[in-house]
Amino acid sequence: MKKIVFILITVVALCSSCGEYNRILKATDYELKYSYAKKYFSQRKYARAATLLEEVVHIFRGTQYAEESLYLLAQSYYGQKDYETASLNFKQYYQTYPKGEFAELARFYSGYGLYLDSPDPRLDQKLTYDAIAELQLYMEYYPQSERAKQAQEILFELQEKLAYKELISTQLYYRLGTYMGNNYRSCVITAENALRDYPYSKYREEFIFLKIKAKYELAIVSIEDRLQGRYRDVVDEYYSYLNEYPEGKYVKQVSKFFDYASKQISSSY
């Protein structure tokens, strides 16, 4: 019996809540709508808050409520985990109110939300690049902020994600080998670009190793005119690797490449 009463009370409360919300939606008193938008926001009913705020932010332009209503709209989308839309609204806020009360928070959450939305490294990384751009701007504007350290850590994390995406591409080119063309050259180019773009990545040794492996394979399949030059490339890459990673995890493997390449160079004389 108590359970039935509880269910009935819950249903009545929900119906009452929906009735109230529908009534507010139809209202023409925008200040009333705004007060309810703030109420719903405080109750974490972000979808309702966003719906009301979408209407009032346009009405409130140039008024005392304009700044706060736009920021709350962005936070309402953020609360719904619609981070891309939230970022657009945060960006609109700090562009409209560069010295506004919520300017620092808007710049931070504009990037942080996109970071939360950043996809798997195998997918398109537009949101990752956008997040990096927003957080770099935040760091420029607020280098001493209490959130600056967090922003910096996120930037490192996102850079590593992009580096890993390049590592996946580099590995793929190597595995493809001579399938439908010479993919070893693409492997080398991708590795070199990654080393230039992400010089401090934790994947640095992997890129260097893949570059050596690909150059070794390039030498193996080369025509006679290019053979010696490419074996010398392998020898040069070996010394570069050893100089940077004298006890690296690929020392044995690159040493084999070096030994073979050296013998081929010697036998040509």
Tell me how far apart the alpha carbons of residues 21 and 226 are, in angstroms, rounded to a whole number: 76
Phi, psi of 154 (to 5 degrees): -65, -40
Higher pLDDT, 144 or 266: 144
Q: Which two tokens stand for residue 220?
A: 């193996």
Q: How far is 204 from 159, CA to CA, in rounded Å?
A: 13
Render pLDDT for 207-247 as a digit per residue (tens, 0 to 9). Answer: 999 999 999 999 988 766 677 888 999 999 999 999 999 99
Q: Say how far apart CA 217 and CA 233 lie, in whole Å.
A: 11
Q: Are 236 and 188 in contact (CB under 8 A)?
A: no
Please give the pLDDT value at position 15.
42
For the segment 149-175, what is each residue's pLDDT rounded down to a tens digit? Answer: 999 999 999 999 999 999 999 999 999
Over the chain, what HEC string results? CHHHHHHHHHHHHHHHHHHHHHHHHHCCCHHHHHHHHHHHHHCCCHHHHHHHHHHHHHHCCCCCCHHHHHHHHHHHHHHCCCHHHHHHHHHHHHHHCCCCCCHHHHHHHHHHHHHHHCCCCCCCCHHHHHHHHHHHHHHHHCCCCCCHHHHHHHHHHHHHHHHHHHHHHHHHHHHHCCCCCCHHHHHHHHHHHHHHHCCCCCCHHHHHHHHHHHHHHHHHCCCHHHHHHHHHHHHHHHHHHHHHCCCCCCHHHHHHHHHHHHHHHHHCC
pLDDT in tens, 75-132: 999 999 999 999 999 999 999 999 999 999 999 999 999 999 999 999 999 999 999 9
Report pTM: 0.86
Query: Would the pLDDT of 199 be above 60?
Result: yes
> What is the pLDDT, as a whole number, of residue 267?
64
127-146: per-residue pLDDT in tens?
999 999 999 999 999 999 99
pLDDT at 264: 84
- Phi/psi-derived region of residue 180, left when phi > 0, alpha when psi is between -120 and 50, beta in every other case: left
Distance CA 40, CA 77 (A): 13
Kindly indicate the confidence band of residue 5, based on its pLDDT and cuts at 50, 70 and 90. Answer: very low
Q: If pLDDT is split at 50, 70 and 90, which confidence band does 268 have?
A: low
CB 210 within 8 A of CB 193: no
pLDDT surpasses 50 at 9: no
Query: Residue 7: its pLDDT value, please?
Result: 40
- What pLDDT sits at residue 25? 87
Q: Provide the percentage of residues in the chain whose pLDDT is more than 90.
A: 81
108-138 exposure pattern, b = at least 16 Cβ within 10 A, e = fewer = bbbbbbbbebbeebeeebebbebbbebbebb
12 has a pLDDT exceeding 60: no
Backbone angles phi, psi at 267, to 5 degrees: -70, -15
Q: What is the pLDDT of residue 17?
A: 57
Other beta carbons less than 10 A from residue 224's beta carbon: 6
